[in-house]
Amino acid sequence: MEQSQPLLRLPTSEELPCSDETPVDNELQNLIPNFLLNVLFLIWRERLDWFFGVDMAIYYLYQEELQPALIPEGFLSIGVPSITSERGRLSYVLWEENEIPPVLAIEIVSQNYNNEYEEKKDKYTQLGVKYYLIYNPDYWQRDQHQPFELYRLEQGEYVLQTAEPYWMPEVGLGIGRSRGTYGGLKREWLFWHDQEGNAYRTLEKIAKQYRQLVEQKQQLTKQEHQQAEKYQKRAERAEKALQEQQQQLAERDLQEQQRQKQVITQLFSLGITIEQIATSYNLTPTQVKEILGRL
């Protein structure tokens, strides 16, 4: 029986694909991990020993063989440099990270099921990820699972945990669900929590706090003014992130309105009455007339 030979030379992150080029199925698969990342930037702003990847390929060896990349929606590693170069990481390659696997991996289940509960769980076990979170807010009944399932790796097997928010002592943070607003979108989000179970505040509240702090420091010494400027820059970054998200949501709404107008106009041209169109789209006849420009 022919045995596989170990790699003579491991490829570098420059040589490996940084992604599988598969687009996400919905906006939440980007928004949720980016929200967690942005909050981490603020609550761990003095730390340089952590990295949170969003939609980034993870490469590792199993039984001395290079495995296909794992690409969770988000993952957290501790004990690695936050910044490796001006370009940042192209991917997360274990043999370039002192063989430190992520301590937490997050998969967000979408309309297209991707074996989050079976094959991916096995692969994260191989990788040695301590905590594996499957967040399934929309399709948990279809998949016969709970919306929030967090697994802890114990003796080589994942064990489902029941507490929520769940405190992760290796991370120094808890994670759980709560309603909030991010980028103008009010819904249920994943939040980091402290040991008492309190959710860390949203970006809007953090940005507001920084603005208030800057206003209170107008009469301070030069050194304190420099500190205030640092807070101001952080507040501006948080506000910029919010503005970008709000712009994306506004563009999406405009596209939907344009699409609806095209469909309604086409239906009307085919002889469908205004009343029938209004019933189909849960609109009033007046709203349909406004869309058609017939008022």
The mean pLDDT value for 187-201 works out to 91
Query: In the predicted model, is pLDDT for residue 269 greater than 80?
Result: yes
CATH of the domain at 45: 3.90.1570
Is 211 inside a domain boundary? no
At residue 59, the pLDDT reads 94
Q: How confident is the model at residue 2 (pLDDT cuts 50, 70, 90)?
A: very low
The parent domain of residue 145 ranges over 28-200
- Per the domain annotation, does 255 fall within a domain? no
What is the pLDDT at residue 272? 83
Is residue 29 within 8 A of residue 110, CB to CB? The reply is: yes
- CA dihedral sign, ordered 73, 28, 233, 87: positive
Indicate whether 127 belongs to any domain. yes
At a CB cut-off of 8 Å and minimum separation 6, what does 112 contact?
25
pLDDT of residue 95: 94
- Span 28-33, average pLDDT: 90
Residue 112 falls inside a structural domain: yes
Residue 124: φ, ψ to 5°: -70, -30
Of the two residues 210 and 154, the one the predictor is more confident about is 154
More confident call, 19 vs 292: 292
At residue 227 the predicted structure's pLDDT band, cuts being 50, 70 and 90, is confident
Mean pLDDT over 133-159 rounds to 95
pLDDT of 4 higher than 50: no
Tell if the pTM clears 0.85, that is, is over it. no
Residue 70 pLDDT > 80:
yes
Instruction: Identify whether 249 is part of a domain.
Output: no
pLDDT over 90 percentage in the chain: 45
Distance CA 54, CA 29 (A): 9
pLDDT of residue 294: 61
Q: Is residue 86 part of a domain?
A: yes
Distance (Å, whole) CA 179 – CA 194 = 17
Alpha carbons 224 and 213: distance in angstroms, whole number: 11
Q: For position 174, what pLDDT does the model report?
A: 97
Average pLDDT over residues 88-100: 93
Average pLDDT, the chain: 85
Any domain includes 190: yes
Is 130 a domain residue?
A: yes
Q: How many CB atoms neighbour CB 104 within 10 A?
A: 23
Kindly give the pairing relationship between strand 104-108 and strand 131-135: parallel
For the stretch 235-253, pLDDT in tens is 788 788 778 878 887 787 7
In contact, 102 and 76? CB cutoff 8 Å: yes
- The pLDDT, as a whole number, for residue 40 is 93
Q: How much is the average pLDDT of 67-93?
A: 93
Per-residue buried b or exposed e for 139-152, using 16+ beta carbons within 10 Å of the residue's own CB: ebeeeebebbbbbe
CB neighbours (10 Å) of residue 19? Answer: 13
Q: Interhelix angle for 285-292 vs 222-269, to 10°?
A: 90
pLDDT at residue 197 in the model? 92
Q: Which residue has the higher pLDDT, 23 or 64?
A: 64
What mean pLDDT comes out for the span 47-57? 94
How many domains does the chain contain in total? 1
Instruction: Name the pLDDT band for 9 (thresholds 50, 70, 90).
Output: confident
The answer to whether 101 and 128 have CB atoms below 8 angstroms apart is yes
Interval 48-58 mean pLDDT: 94
Q: What is the mean pLDDT of residues 95-111?
A: 95
Name the band, by pLDDT with cuts 50, 70 and 90, for residue 136. very high
CB 232 within 8 A of CB 214: yes
Higher pLDDT, 204 or 279: 279
Mean pLDDT of 167-188: 91
Distance CA(23)–CA(259), nearest Å, equals 22
Residue 134 CA to residue 107 CA, distance in Å, equals 5
Distance of CA 142 to the CA centre of its chain: 22
Determine phi and psi for 289, rounding to 5 degrees.
Answer: -65, -40
